[in-house]
């Protein structure tokens, strides 16, 4: 979701909605310098692997991924070299939005298993040194949550103020745009109490009323319940929407084209975060990241400035928003990432990501998924993600270079946001073939097809009928085949996680952009305690020149996605080439 300034591509997505062998990673000698790194934290050094449980591995043959499935793959996850897992929501849910509509925050979705499965999963991760970050969906609940059932039952219910209601005798409420509603209308009339309730997302996702201290306390208690179980962090879903101006002013006509200016981080939100920090976060060693980073760099920075005691790291969408179905500018991409890095150069911390469960596949969107370039460009992008400052969030399946499935019919889609928007477009006379083309690029379902384990039926994801079609390319693109190939994307990714782990310069080191105006190549150094790592990435399918202050001086090659090891700094890169050197 695009929750940061000043673009809103989740909205867009919804609306239009070698290779390489690898040179052994050498570590920057750092043993005697680590002590001098200020504010070292496990979550800064983590590589977070995002698992979409519904599509990862189905253990019981019902076609839906589950916790036992994840447990069966823990050794695989460990083998990647990742150190933390972010799990999309696994709480009880009627699945209007695949778990982002929670009906019981203290239970496990029946599709996914039981609390005993959860406990086993958490233990299995911790036994392997992997931390677990849970999704926390508290901007809204499901309409099937007990609180909402009570709230809608009567105007005098003690739960009434857990949600936002507008009495119908006051006329129609001022228009609020909804991201998922089939009419884009966030107010839903409910006849039991003759009132409208607010839902920024789907009708089955009523917004919780954070103004109500009782509601906030319920949430904090629930967070403690999970923290006491021993989880290691929270990813806070859509949290920058949590605060509303409950005087309900009328917004200017057409505001929905820029709704973030009105919806994100309404004054008072930082106060909620500080209270949450006091009540819960400060009492545990929890890592926290909120989806979205506000409308301004200041907002983003304030949210994760350690002195303010709010959250740990910002998750900004400007970078991911650069790429559209029409392509993107590498110069713009470099500018955006360089700017965000500069904002956090002294204080605060950033997430680095280019894909997640709300986006197209990494290689289809930012690379080139044609057969001759798929693996190369996928490795190049992974090299970027693993060599920037900030904590990398890496989406499951990207380590195989999985790509968009190329759906051509609306029947192939499952995502409510996509289906409702399709309906909306149809109702408004849009060019539907063009819309279908657009969603083949941008729909969230592109990133949600089942994980491709092997070349057996359904890619080894399930013995049953998968809830969403498997990408037909699984016969060639799958984990089992890549295990056997030392030059596969999978094995390259393992080299990358090791490279990052062995070189703290890649985590904490100063970032310096080189060859700034080069429209094809992204080159930068990362520098810590006198050790300098040089990264050069060709973002195009053509040979490209690159000019750095190092000319063609001697250097130690650490990694190259073509598998060779030039001992001098290159001045020309092959198509989608990625090289990493230790300078000195
Ligand atoms: C976030 C989630 C997305 C979900 C929405 C509503 O953007 O990442 O998947 O649909 O919030 O909870
Ligand atoms: Ca299952």
pLDDT tens, position by position, 100-122: 999 999 999 999 999 999 999 99
230 burial type by CB count under 10 A (0-12 exposed, 13-18 middle, 19+ buried): middle
Which ligand 1 atom minimizes the distance to the CA of 1? 7
Which residues, 6 or more positions from 222, have their beta carbon under 8 angstroms from its beta carbon? 105, 106
Which ligand 1 atom minimizes the distance to the CA of 10? 7
Determine the Cα–Cα distance for residues 22 and 557; give it in Å rounded to an integer.
10
Spell out which residues line ligand 1, taking CB within 6 angstroms: 1, 97, 100, 137, 201, 237-238, 291, 357-358
pLDDT of residue 28: 42
Write out the E strands in 22-120: 48-51, 84-87, 91-92, 104-108
Give the pLDDT band of residue 128 (cuts 50, 70, 90): very high
To the nearest 10°, the Cα dihedral for 379, 385, 391, 392?
A: -50
| pLDDT over 60 at 257, yes or no | yes
Q: What is the 3-state secondary structure (H, E, C) of 373-427?
A: CHHHHHHHHHHHHHHCCCEEEEECCHHHCCCCCCCCCHHHCCCHHHHHHHHHHHH
pTM: 0.94
Query: From ligand 1's centre to the CA of 139, what distance in Å?
Result: 10
Give the mean model confidence (pLDDT) for residues 261-265. Answer: 97
Our mutation pick for probing the ligand 1 site, out of 50, 202, 237, 414, counting the most ligand atoms within 8 A of Cβ, is 237
Query: From ligand 2's centre to the CA of 120, what distance in Å?
Result: 16
Q: What is the pLDDT of residues 321-374, one digit of tens each?
A: 999 999 999 999 999 999 999 999 999 999 999 999 999 999 999 999 999 999
pLDDT of residue 18: 32
Give the pLDDT band of residue 33 (cuts 50, 70, 90): low
Which ligand has the shortest distance to the CA of 200?
1
Ligand 1, atom 12: nearest CA belongs to which residue?
100
Determine the Cα–Cα distance for residues 414 and 223; give it in Å rounded to an integer.
30
Beta-sheet pairing, 313-315 with 287-291: parallel
Q: At what angle are helices 330-343 and 297-304 packed, to 10 degrees?
A: 50
| pLDDT over 60 at 19, yes or no | no
pLDDT of residue 10: 40
pLDDT of residue 41: 97
| pLDDT over 60 at 25, yes or no | no
Give the pLDDT band of residue 14 (cuts 50, 70, 90): very low
Which ligand 1 atom minimizes the distance to the CA of 358? 9
| pLDDT over 80 at 23, yes or no | no
Are 518 and 405 contacting, i.e. CB atoms less than 8 angstroms apart?
no
Determine the Cα–Cα distance for residues 79 and 482; give it in Å rounded to an integer.
13
Our mutation pick for probing the ligand 1 site, out of 358, 393, 443, 446, counting the most ligand atoms within 8 A of Cβ, is 358
Which of these is catalytic: 96, 117, 237, 318? 237
| pLDDT over 80 at 88, yes or no | yes
Which ligand 1 atom minimizes the distance to the CA of 444? 9
Determine the Cα–Cα distance for residues 401 and 263; give it in Å rounded to an integer.
35
Superfamily of domain 146-198: Oligo-1,6-glucosidase; Domain 2 (3.90.400.10)
pLDDT of residue 584: 76
Average pLDDT, the chain: 94
Which of these is catalytic: 58, 66, 101, 291? 291
**C-alpha closest to that of 19 among 580, 398, 562:** 562
Give the mean model confidence (pLDDT) for residues 405-410. Answer: 98
Query: From ligand 1's centre to the CA of 205, what distance in Å?
Result: 10
Give the mean model confidence (pLDDT) for residues 381-385. Answer: 99
Our mutation pick for probing the ligand 1 site, out of 87, 134, 201, 316, counting the most ligand atoms within 8 A of Cβ, is 201
DSSP state string for 120-139:
HHHHHHHHTT-EEEEEE--S
Beta-sheet pairing, 578-583 with 233-236: unpaired
Give the pLDDT band of residue 16 (cuts 50, 70, 90): very low
Query: From ligand 2's centre to the CA of 99, what distance in Å?
Result: 14
Is 237 one of the catalytic residues? Answer: yes
Give the mean model confidence (pLDDT) for residues 436-460. Answer: 98
Which ligand 1 atom minimizes the distance to the CA of 139? 12
Query: From ligand 1's centre to the CA of 178, what distance in Å?
Result: 13
| pLDDT over 80 at 567, yes or no | yes
| pLDDT over 70 at 399, yes or no | yes
Q: Which two tokens stand for residue 459?
A: 């890619």
Give the pLDDT band of residue 15 (cuts 50, 70, 90): very low
Our mutation pick for probing the ligand 1 site, out of 97, 102, 208, 418, counting the most ligand atoms within 8 A of Cβ, is 97
Is 279 one of the catalytic residues? Answer: no
Q: At what angle are helices 432-442 and 416-427 packed, to 10 degrees?
A: 160
Which ligand 1 atom minimizes the distance to the CA of 180? 10
Which ligand has the shortest distance to the CA of 110?
2
Task: Point out which residues pair with 556 in neighbouring strands.
Answer: 582
Ligand 1, atom 3: nearest CA belongs to which residue?
358
pLDDT of residue 4: 34
Q: Which two tokens stand for residue 49?
A: 């692997």
pLDDT of residue 38: 85
Query: From ligand 2's centre to the CA of 355, what distance in Å?
Result: 25
Determine the Cα–Cα distance for residues 230 and 440; give it in Å rounded to an integer.
40
SS3 category, 322: coil
Query: From ligand 2's centre to the CA of 49, what distance in Å?
Result: 21
305 burial type by CB count under 10 A (0-12 exposed, 13-18 middle, 19+ buried): middle
| pLDDT over 70 at 256, yes or no | yes
Q: What is the pLDDT of residues 181-211, one digit of tens each?
A: 999 999 999 999 999 999 999 999 999 999 9
CA distances from 173 to 121, 166, 169, 207, 246 (A): 45, 7, 10, 15, 12
How large a percentage of the chain has pLDDT more than 70? 94
| Cis status, amide bond into 311, omega within 30 of 0 | no
Ligand 1, atom 6: nearest CA belongs to which residue?
100
**C-alpha closest to that of 582 among 538, 526, 529, 544:** 526
Determine the Cα–Cα distance for residues 181 and 576; give it in Å rounded to an integer.
40
Find the largest Cα–Cα distance for the chain: 77
Determine the Cα–Cα distance for residues 163 and 155; give it in Å rounded to an integer.
11
pLDDT of residue 34: 62
Q: Which residues of 174-185 are buried (b: 16+ CB within 10 A; e: fewer)?
A: eebbbbbbbebb
Q: What is the pLDDT of residues 535-544, one digit of tens each?
A: 999 999 999 9
Give the mean model confidence (pLDDT) for residues 156-180. Answer: 98
* Domain 510-583 coded CATH 1.10.760.10: no
Give the mean model confidence (pLDDT) for residues 493-507. Answer: 98
CATH code for residues 48-139+214-407+446-497: 3.20.20.80
Of the ranges 4-8, 36-40, 226-230, 509-513, which one carries the lowest mean pLDDT score? Answer: 4-8
Query: From ligand 1's centre to the CA of 340, what distance in Å?
Result: 23
74 burial type by CB count under 10 A (0-12 exposed, 13-18 middle, 19+ buried): middle
pLDDT of residue 35: 64
Determine the Cα–Cα distance for residues 40 and 504; give it in Å rounded to an integer.
10
Determine the Cα–Cα distance for residues 233 and 223; give it in Å rounded to an integer.
10
Ligand 1, atom 2: nearest CA belongs to which residue?
237
Which ligand 1 atom minimizes the distance to the CA of 357? 9
Our mutation pick for probing the ligand 1 site, out of 100, 416, 417, counting the most ligand atoms within 8 A of Cβ, is 100
Query: From ligand 1's centre to the CA of 457, what distance in Å?
Result: 31
Determine the Cα–Cα distance for residues 444 and 317; give it in Å rounded to an integer.
15
Query: Is the torsion defined by CA of 251, 252, 256, 262 positive or negative?
Result: negative
**Number of other CB atoms surrounding residue 386 within 10 Å:** 24
Which ligand has the shortest distance to the CA of 462?
2
CA distances from 564 to 16, 455, 542, 579, 584 (A): 42, 30, 18, 9, 20
Which ligand has the shortest distance to the CA of 55?
2
Which ligand has the shortest distance to the CA of 466?
2
pLDDT of residue 566: 87
| pLDDT over 70 at 8, yes or no | no
Residues with a beta carbon under 5 angstroms from ion ligand 2: 58, 60, 62, 64, 66
Q: Domain residues of the chain, as ranges?
A: 1-31, 48-139+214-407+446-497, 146-198, 510-583
């Amino acid at each position: 979701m695009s929750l940061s300034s000043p673009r809103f591509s989740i909205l867009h997505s919804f609306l239009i909605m070698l290779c390489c062998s690898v040179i052994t990673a050498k570590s920057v000698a750092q043993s005697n310098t680590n002590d001098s790194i200020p504010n070292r934290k496990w979550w800064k050094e983590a590589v977070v692997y995002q698992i979409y449980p519904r599509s990862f591995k189905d253990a019981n043959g019902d076609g839906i991924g589950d916790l036992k499935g994840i447990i069966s793959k823990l050794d695989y996850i460990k083998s990647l070299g990742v150190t933390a897992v972010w799990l999309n929501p696994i709480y009880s849910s009627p699945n209007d939005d695949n778990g982002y509509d929670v009906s019981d925050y203290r239970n496990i979705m029946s599709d996914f298993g039981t609390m005993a499965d959860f406990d086993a999963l958490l233990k299995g991760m911790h036994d392997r040194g992997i931390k677990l970050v849970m999704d926390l969906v508290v901007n809204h609940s499901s309409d099937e949550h007990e609180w909402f059932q009570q709230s809608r039952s009567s105007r005098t219910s003690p739960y009434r103020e857990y949600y936002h209601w507008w009495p119908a005798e006051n006329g129609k409420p001022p228009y609020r745009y909804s991201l998922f509603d089939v009419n884009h209308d966030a107010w839903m009339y409910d006849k039991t109490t003759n009132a409208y309730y607010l839902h920024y997302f789907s009708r089955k996702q009523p917004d919780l009323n954070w103004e109500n201290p009782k509601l906030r306390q319920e949430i904090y208690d629930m967070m403690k319940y999970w923290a006491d179980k021993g989880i290691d962090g929270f990813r806070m879903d859509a949290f920058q929407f949590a605060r509303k101006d409950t005087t309900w002013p009328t917004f200017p006509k057409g505001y929905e084209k820029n709704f973030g200016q009105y919806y994100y981080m309404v004054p008072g939100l930082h106060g909620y975060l500080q209270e949450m920090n006091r009540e819960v976060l400060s009492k545990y060693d929890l890592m926290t990241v909120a989806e979205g980073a506000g409308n301004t760099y200041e907002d983003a920075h304030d949210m994760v400035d350690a002195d303010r005691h709010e959250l740990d790291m910002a998750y900004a969408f400007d970078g991911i928003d650069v790429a559209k179905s029409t392509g993107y500018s590498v110069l713009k991409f470099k500018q955006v990432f360089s700017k965000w890095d500069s904002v956090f150069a002294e204080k605060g911390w950033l997430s680095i990501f280019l894909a997640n469960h709300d986006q197209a596949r990494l290689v289809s969107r930012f690379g080139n998924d044609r057969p001759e370039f798929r693996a190369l460009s996928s490795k190049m992008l992974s090299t970027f993600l693993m060599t920037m400052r900030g904590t990398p969030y890496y989406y499951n399946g990207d380590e195989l270079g999985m790509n968009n499935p190329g759906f051509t019919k609306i029947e192939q889609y499952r995502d409510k946001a996509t289906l409702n928007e399709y309906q909306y477009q149809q109702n408004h006379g849009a060019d539907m073939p063009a819309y279908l083309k657009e969603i083949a690029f941008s729909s969230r379902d592109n990133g949600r097809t089942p994980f491709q384990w092997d070349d057996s039926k359904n890619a080894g994801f399930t013995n049953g009928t998968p809830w969403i079609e498997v990408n037909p390319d699984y016969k060639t693109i799958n984990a089992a085949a890549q295990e056997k190939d030392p030059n596969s994307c999978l094995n390259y990714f393992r080299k990358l996680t090791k490279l990052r782990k062995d070189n703290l310069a890649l985590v904490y080191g100063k970032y310096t952009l080189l060859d700034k105006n080069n429209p094809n190549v992204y080159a930068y150094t990362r520098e810590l305690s006198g050790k300098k790592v040089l990264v050069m990435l060709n973002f195009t399918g053509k040979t490209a020149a690159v000019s750095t202050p190092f000319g063609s001086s001697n250097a130690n090659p650490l990694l190259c996605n073509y598998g060779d090891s030039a001992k001098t700094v290159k001045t020309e890169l092959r198509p989608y080439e990625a090289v990493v050197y230790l300078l000195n």
